[in-house]
């Protein structure tokens, strides 16, 4: 951030009075600009023993497979966000969604909220997907999954089902490899 969204003047990164973290603060009007993690909402949609996956038509990770997921929008619940992403990416209508997992990724300031539900419609690629498909556990292109949180979510789903809400966090080591820290 370079400029204040209130007055348009330059901002500086500093610790505001009565705070304990660096924030962007306007050098002119002293407005503190808070930046908080982004929520990513996604869904594990199933039909029988098959899971819906989407092949990404956008960066990052163009051409790799993922669960339908994306950034939460204003004025929607996390479950509504997950359902919207499934519709946008795969023209997929879901039944009621239940929380499956909460996964923190502090190294990129994101929190993933993954849901599970039944797939109620046929699917087809939306504008953010090259193709979509329903996969059994054995058919999943495990080496072509876009994000560590997707791999972890699918493994948890196939190993443990949906009887509990899962929680984990991810970090990145000095070599930029992602490390999983499972809490449950």
CATH of the domain at 21: 2.20.70.10
State residue 184's pLDDT score: 74
Q: Domain containing 50 — which CATH number? A: 3.90.79.10
Do 16 and 46 belong together in one domain? no
Distance CA 169, CA 106 (A): 8
- In the chain, how many domains are there? 2
pTM of the entire structure? 0.91
Residues 74 and 126 in one domain: yes
Give dist(CA 41, CA 77) in Å, integer. Answer: 9
Q: Are strands 166-172 and 178-182 parallel, antiparallel or unpaired?
A: antiparallel
DSSP reduced 3-state for 25: strand
What tens digit of pLDDT does each residue of 41-70 get?
A: 999 999 999 999 999 999 999 999 999 999
Q: What confidence category does residue 182 fall into, taking pLDDT thresholds of 50, 70 and 90?
A: confident
């Amino acid at each position: 951030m370079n400029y204040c969204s209130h007055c348009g003047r330059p901002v500086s990164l500093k610790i505001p009075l009565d705070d304990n973290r660096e924030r962007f603060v306007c050098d002119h009007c002293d407005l503190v600009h808070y930046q908080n993690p982004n929520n990513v909402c996604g869904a594990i949609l199933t039909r029988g023993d098959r899971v819906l996956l989407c092949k990404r038509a956008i960066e990052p990770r163009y051409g790799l497979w993922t669960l339908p997921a994306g950034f939460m929008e204003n004025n929607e619940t996390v479950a509504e966000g997950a359902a919207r992403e499934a519709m946008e990416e795969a023209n997929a209508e879901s039944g009621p969604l239940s929380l499956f997992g909460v996964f923190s990724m502090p190294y990129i300031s994101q929190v993933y909220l993954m849901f599970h539900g039944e797939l109620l419609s046929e699917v087809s690629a939306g504008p953010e997907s090259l193709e979509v498909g329903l996969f059994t556990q054995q058919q999943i292109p495990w080496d072509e999954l876009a994000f560590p949180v997707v791999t972890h979510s699918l493994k948890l789903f196939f190993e443990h089902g949906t009887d509990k809400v899962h929680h984990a966090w991810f970090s990145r080591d000095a070599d930029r490899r992602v490390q999983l820290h499972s809490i449950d």
